[in-house]
Chains A and B, each alone.
Chain A
Amino acid sequence: MGKYILRRLIISLITIWLIATCSFFLLRLLPGNPFATDQLLPTEMVEQLMDYYGLNDPLWKQYLTFMQNLLHGNFGTSLKYAGQSVNGIIAEKFPISAQLGLQAYILSLPLGILFGILAARHRGKALDYSLVGFSVLGVSVPVFIIASLLQYIFAIKLEIFPVAQWKSFWHTILPTLTLSLGSIAGRTRTMRTLMLEVISEDYVKTAKAKGLSSPQIVWRHQIRNAIIPMIPNLGMEIVGILMGSFVVEQIFAIPGIGAYFVKSVTSLDYTMTLGLTVFFGVFVVGANFIIDLIYGLVDPRIRVVK
C-alpha cells in the first residue's frame, strides 16, 4: 500500500508541475498586455508598470521566479487589484465557492446513487421512467435555465427562498440545488446502468440461491460492486461542480471566486489566472489522489496490486 501511495503522489506532483508550466507559457501566447485595456494610461506608465511587475524580463527568468514563488506557496500579487495578493483573494473568496461546491457534492452523491438504485430496482415501471426522464432533463437543460426556473418558482412565486445573494444558509439552498441537479441526473443514469449490469452477475444468483432476501442481496452484493466502476469518476465530477459553480455564482450574485477567475483571463491578469489555475489544479489532483486511495479500499482486487 505504501508503494502505491508513493507512486500516486509522485504522479500527482508531476501533473501539478505540468499544469503550472503549460498554463504559464500558454498565457503568454495571448496577444496584448495586462495594462493595454486601460486606455487612460500613457505608454510610459505602462512601461513603468511592466518593469515594476517584472514583465519586461526575459520569459525564462519570469518562469524561474514564478516557479520559485510557487514552491513557497506564493502566487504573487494581482496585476489588476492593486496591492492584493492572489493568496489573499483565494483565502477570502474560495471558502464561499467551496461551501457551495461541497454542499452540492454532498447532496448529489447519495441522491444520485439512491435514484440510480431505485430506477434499476423498478426497471421498466413508472418510477424508473420518471427517474430516467428526470435525469435526461437534468443532464441536457443548461444550468442557467434551471437556475431561473428555481428562482421563479421558489423565490418569486412561493417566496420560500431568497432570490439571490449569499448571507445565510437559507440563501445557499437554491444555488446548491441548481448546481447539484446536473450531477444528480448524471449519476442516476450511471448508477442505474451499473446496477442493471450487476443484477445479471452470477454472484447475485448465488446470493439468491442462498435464500437471502431481496434487500439483503441489493445491499450486500449489488451496491458495492456497482459503485466500484463509478469511483474514478467521482474525482472528475468535482471538476464539473467547480466549473458549474462559476456560472451559478454569477446567476445568484454569490461573491465566490468564479468571477475573479473569469475576469482575470479576459483582462490578462497573469498572476491571478496562473495562481487560480494552479490552485484549482492542485485541488483537483488532490481530490483524484484521495479518490484513488478510496478505490483501493473498496475493491480488494486493486489493493493487492501494490
Chain B
Amino acid sequence: MNEHLLEVRNLAVSFDTYAGEVQAVRGIDFTLDAGETLAIVGESGCGKSVTVQTIMKLLPSPPSRIKSGSILYRGEELVTKSDKEMENYRGKEFSMVFQDSMTSLNPTMRVGNQLCEGIIKHQKVSHAKAKEIAIQMLRQVGLPNPEKCFRRYPHTLSGGMRQRVMIAIAIACNPQILFADEPTTALDVTMQAQILDLMNNLKKDLGTAIILITHDLGVVAQMADRISVMYAGKIVESGTADQIFYNPRHPYTWGLLGSMPSVADSARRAKSELFSIPGTPPDLFAPPAGCAFAARCRYCMGACQKLDAPEFQADDGHLVRCWLLDERAPHVTPPIGRHAALNSADEEGK
C-alpha cells in the first residue's frame, strides 16, 4: 500500500466549555495525496474548519482537545507533536488561507514584512534575499506593481488584493498542502473566479495539494478532485467529484445539491421556491445516538434512530454513511443527481 501525503484516522476533537463538552469533530477519516484537491463541504458548524485547524494545530488548547485519532503526515504522527515541533511544519509543509482577508492580515505591519517573516523563518535567508523572494511571490499571485505593494499596509488594498497577499504568504515556502478555509466567501463573484483560477494555476505549477473548505458547491465543482461531505462532525459521504455530483447516495448530499440554485432550474420552474433541508443540525453538546441526520431525513428508518450507520462502499472509493445502502433497506430513488436528470429528461420527452 502506498503512503498518502496526509492520512487522518478516526480524528475526534472536542471543546471543553463551561456549558459542557462540544463534540465538534466526531471521528473522521480521510486521506490526501500529493497534488490532489480535496473539498470538505458542509453547512456552518459541521466541523470543517475545526478539522483543518486541528491538523495544523492552530486551535488553542484548552479549550480544544484532540480526543482520539491520528494525523499522519508522510507517515509521521502529528497529534503527539509539541507546539514547538509544529512550527517547522506550519508555513513550510502546510499553510493556510483564511476566509476574511481583512482581519487575517496584521493591520499595523507592511504587507511585505508579513510575507518576509515566513520566508526568513523557513528558508533561513537574509532580509534582503527574503524581500526579493517576497516581491517575486507578489508578482506570482498577480498583484500589479509588486515592489510598491510590498510597502503597503493591508487597509490600503482591496479585498481581492488582500486575498492574493494571503495566498502569497501561504505559498511563499512552497508548502506540500494548502488549506483554504472558505477562501472566496468574503469576495464578490468576479473576484471569486479570479482567486479560484489563481489557486488552480498555482496547484498546477507547484504541485501543491489543496484541502478546500467551503459550503459553496459551485466553488467545489471548479476545484475539487475528491469531495468529503461533512455533517455534525462526521464525514457522511466521500468520493470523487463525479461520484458526488452525479451519483450522490446520502440523503444529506441530496439535500445539499438540491439546495443549490441553478439557472436552468429557475428558468424551468419560474416560480418554484429554493429548496432547503428542513430542520436544524443536532446539538453537538449531546449528539444523537443514531444517525445525526435522522431527524431531518425524509427517508429515516427505525434503525437510523438507534444506531449510526457504518461506512458502506457504494462504488470504488465512494463511501457513504447511510443505512439506505444496507441490503435490507428499501430501494429509494434519489430526488436529484443523475437519476433526477434522467427522470426530468423522460418527462420532457413525453
> In the complex, are the beta carbons of B107 and A206 less than 8 A apart?
no
* Inter-chain contacts of B83 with A (CB < 8 A): 214
> In the complex, are the beta carbons of B104 and A211 less than 8 A apart?
no
> In the complex, are the beta carbons of B92 and A225 less than 8 A apart?
no
> In the complex, are the beta carbons of A301 and B98 less than 8 A apart?
no
Whether A220 touches B117, Cβ cut-off 8 Å, given contacts A205-B58, A211-B87, A301-B153, is yes
Judged by a CB distance under 8 angstroms, whether A221 is at the interface is yes
> In the complex, are the beta carbons of B100 and A206 less than 8 A apart?
no
Chain B, 105-143, CB within 8 A of any chain A CB: 105-109, 114, 117-118, 121-122
Give the number of chain A interface residues (Cβ < 8 Å): 24
In the assembled complex, the Cα of A220 lies from the Cα of B122 at a distance in Å of: 17
In the assembled complex, the Cα of A107 lies from the Cα of B98 at a distance in Å of: 41
Judged by a CB distance under 8 angstroms, whether B91 is at the interface is yes
Whether A209 touches B91, Cβ cut-off 8 Å, given contacts A202-B104, A301-B153, is yes
Whether A207 touches B106, Cβ cut-off 8 Å, given contacts A212-B118, A212-B121, A213-B87, is yes
> In the complex, are the beta carbons of B87 and A203 less than 8 A apart?
no
* Inter-chain contacts of B104 with A (CB < 8 A): 202-203, 205-206
In the assembled complex, the Cα of A216 lies from the Cα of B106 at a distance in Å of: 13
Indicate with 1 or 0, residue by residue over A273-306, a CB within 8 angstroms of chain B CB atoms: 0000000000000000000000000111100100
* The residue from A201, A212, A228 contacting B117, defined by CB atoms under 8 A apart: A212
Judged by a CB distance under 8 angstroms, whether B9 is at the interface is no
- Identify which of B98, B106, B166 gathers the most chain A CB atoms within 10 Å of its CB: B106
Whether A211 touches B106, Cβ cut-off 8 Å, given contacts A300-B153, A301-B155, is no
Indicate with 1 or 0, residue by residue over B289-316, a CB within 8 angstroms of chain A CB atoms: 0000000000000000000000000000
> In the complex, are the beta carbons of B87 and A212 less than 8 A apart?
yes
Tell me, rounded to whole Å, the shortest Cβ–Cβ distance linking B130 to chain A: 12
> In the complex, are the beta carbons of A221 and B100 less than 8 A apart?
no
* Inter-chain contacts of A304 with B (CB < 8 A): 155-156
> In the complex, are the beta carbons of A301 and B107 less than 8 A apart?
yes
Indicate with 1 or 0, residue by residue over A214-248, a CB within 8 angstroms of chain B CB atoms: 10100011001100100000000000000000000
Closest Cβ neighbor of A208 among chain B residues: B58
Judged by a CB distance under 8 angstroms, whether B6 is at the interface is no
In the assembled complex, the Cα of A212 lies from the Cα of B117 at a distance in Å of: 8
Judged by a CB distance under 8 angstroms, whether A210 is at the interface is yes
In the assembled complex, the Cα of A62 lies from the Cα of B98 at a distance in Å of: 67
> In the complex, are the beta carbons of B117 and A210 less than 8 A apart?
yes
Tell me, rounded to whole Å, the shortest Cβ–Cβ distance linking B10 to chain A: 25
Closest Cβ neighbor of B115 among chain A residues: A210
> In the complex, are the beta carbons of B105 and A211 less than 8 A apart?
no
Judged by a CB distance under 8 angstroms, whether B89 is at the interface is yes
In the assembled complex, the Cα of A299 lies from the Cα of B122 at a distance in Å of: 29
> In the complex, are the beta carbons of A211 and B109 less than 8 A apart?
no
> In the complex, are the beta carbons of A209 and B56 less than 8 A apart?
yes
Whether A225 touches B118, Cβ cut-off 8 Å, given contacts A202-B100, A206-B98, A210-B91, is no
Closest Cβ neighbor of A199 among chain B residues: B60
* The residue from A210, A298, A301 contacting B118, defined by CB atoms under 8 A apart: A210
Judged by a CB distance under 8 angstroms, whether B344 is at the interface is no
> In the complex, are the beta carbons of B121 and A210 less than 8 A apart?
yes
Tell me, rounded to whole Å, the shortest Cβ–Cβ distance linking B86 to chain A: 8
> In the complex, are the beta carbons of B169 and A206 less than 8 A apart?
yes
Judged by a CB distance under 8 angstroms, whether B158 is at the interface is no
Closest Cβ neighbor of A214 among chain B residues: B83
Judged by a CB distance under 8 angstroms, whether B88 is at the interface is yes
* Inter-chain contacts of A213 with B (CB < 8 A): 84, 87
Judged by a CB distance under 8 angstroms, whether B96 is at the interface is yes
Whether A211 touches B108, Cβ cut-off 8 Å, given contacts A202-B100, A206-B98, A301-B153, is no
A-B contact pairs, 6 of them (CB 8 A): A202-B104, A205-B58, A212-B121, A221-B106, A301-B107, A301-B155
Which 8 A-B pairs rank lowest in CB-CB distance, beginning with the nearest? A211-B91, A211-B90, A210-B118, A202-B103, A210-B91, A203-B106, A209-B96, A202-B104
Besides the known contacts A206-B105, A210-B121, A301-B107, 6 further A-B residue pairs in the complex with CB atoms under 8 A apart: A203-B107, A209-B90, A210-B90, A210-B95, A211-B121, A212-B121
Binding site for A on B (CB under 8 A): 56, 58, 83-84, 87-92, 95-96, 98, 100, 103-109, 114, 117-118, 121-122, 153, 155-156, 166, 169-170
